[in-house]
Amino acid sequence: MDLKQIHNVYFIGIGGIGMSALARYFKFINKNVAGYDKTETPLTQELQGIGITIHYKDAVGSINTEYLDSAKTLVVYTPAVPNSHGEYQYFLNNGFTIKKRSEVLGIITKDTFCFAVAGTHGKTTTSSILAHLLKETGTPITAFLGGISEDFNSNFLLEGTAYSVVEADEFDRSFLQLSPNMACITSMDADHLDIYGTEEELQNSFKEFTKRIKPNGKLFVRNGLPINGITYGIEDDSDFCIRNLKIEHGAYIFDLGTPNEVLTGVTFNKPGRHNLLNGLVAFAMAIQAGSPANRLANALATFKGVQRRFSYKIKTPNLVYVDDYAHHPTEINAVCDAVYEMHPKKKVLAIFQPHLFSRTKDFIEEFAESLSKFDSILLLDIYPAREKPIEGVTSQWLLEKIKNPNKKLINKANIISEIKQQNPEIIITMGAGDIGLEVEKIKKELHYEN
């Protein structure tokens, strides 16, 4: 497909974080851009603010006429859109060029020097750190991010087109559409078993992804994963290694060993060793673009973060409020470790919204174990996203499995009153559903109280 021949780009599911980054890209290169989403959000409002037309009803009649010319329009859709979607069916049956988001990302980045970040956890944080490092050291990059970078206040960055940074998403085997020059794998925990069936099949897909790396390319792998590559880790024998790690004033200070040198007194301000590992592999990848190690180390210290990735919303002596996208037991464990490492001896209230019936069912025991580690737990109903309910799979079932007696099932309308009743020292909201829309309300109410 030649993008030069495309005049119009229409998105089905334009409000998704990955889709909206692509929409920004096409708008930036002067294509006509429009789309559908089922819900208006701050993200869709921002897209409308830069001149992108969006409607919220699945109706072909709501699409501007210019986008109904099959010779000039590319249709991009997300796998989260059901096959029965009316607009999707119209484009499918009327000769339009229809591509998944991942396919379009592959086409855009094919002729660039592509950095691809893969892994069941850590993709967005790692790719955001990598984009920040490359930008700070003057590399001409285009970055498509799966979250809002607090450094760019966007999920899209265009500083040039020679290099690209993308997330290599394992969902729906999307990452097999990419052909990166440089890739990393941060983690391979069982997830998306509705797609893969077994953990072994998921791991096979990651191995297939490594074959997509271009000749003379490089693969970075977290130490301990069952795939060969350049390793990275903390206090071990990795090729890129963090040593002499300590915490000062809420930041990590450490020495960073590379195959060629050791950088001393490096600073990283994001809590959590999982985030520290993300920063380390971003650093290792950025070196491959020719950036000097000392400048990259300085840039690591200035990384602000990603919205909803261990984001401090309130940080006062009396109250700390952290929001995180964690929606898998491994991610919840990482958040738990980070908060107790950075704020020892404090009482922590966790508010969790499970994401997907299938994921809750597949990992019910692991979720219960992870959530039991907090001092107190408030549980919301399962956010269904693309799924239909599964009989017996409910938040009540999960609540009964949690061993900690300080637990309660609540609805979103009662979040703030429940928090005030418990009067905790630290609050964490977690989940990949619409709990993110509650964050500013909670912050505003609790800031007022403080």
Task: Output the known binding site for ATP.
Answer: 119-125
Task: Tell me the sheet residues that pair with 268.
Answer: 252
Tokens representing 215 are 């000749």
Annotated binding site: 119-125
| Exposure string for 173-189, b = 16+ CB within 10 A, e = fewer | bbbbbbebbbbbbbbbb
Please list, residue by residue across 96-132, b when 16 or more beta carbons sit within 10 angstroms of its beta carbon and e when fewer do.
bebbbbbbbbbebbeebbbbbbbbbbbbbbbbbbbbb
- For strand 251-257 and strand 262-268, is the pairing parallel, antiparallel, or unpaired? antiparallel
Helix (H) or strand (E) holding 256: strand 251-257
Residue 419 φ then ψ, to 5°: -60, -45
User: Which among 148, 191, 117, 152 is positioned nearest to 16, based on CA atoms?
Assistant: 148
Report the alpha-carbon angle 356-446-354, nearest 5: 10
**Integer angstrom CA distances of residue 419 from 203, 309, 369, 415, 424:** 40, 21, 22, 6, 7
Tokens of 429: 């909201």
Reduced to 3 states (helix: H, G, I; strand: E, B; else coil), residue 146 is: strand
Asked if 77 contacts 101 with a C-beta cutoff of 8 angstroms, the reply is yes
CA–CA separation, 356 and 7 (whole Å): 37
Adjacent-strand bridge partners of 241:
233, 257
Alpha-helix residue ranges (DSSP H) falling in 221-301: 273-287, 293-301
CA distance 445 to 450: 9
Contact yes or no for 240/284 (Cβ under 8 A): yes
Contacts of 348 (CB under 8 A, 6+ apart): 336, 339, 340, 374, 375, 376, 424, 425, 426, 427, 428
Q: What is d(CA 263, CA 244) in angstroms, rounded to the nearest whole number?
A: 11
> Are 417 and 408 a contacting pair, CB within 8 Å?
no
Query: Both ends of the chain: CA-CA distance in Å?
Result: 56
Phi-psi region of 197 (alpha: psi -120 to 50; beta: other; left: phi over 0): left
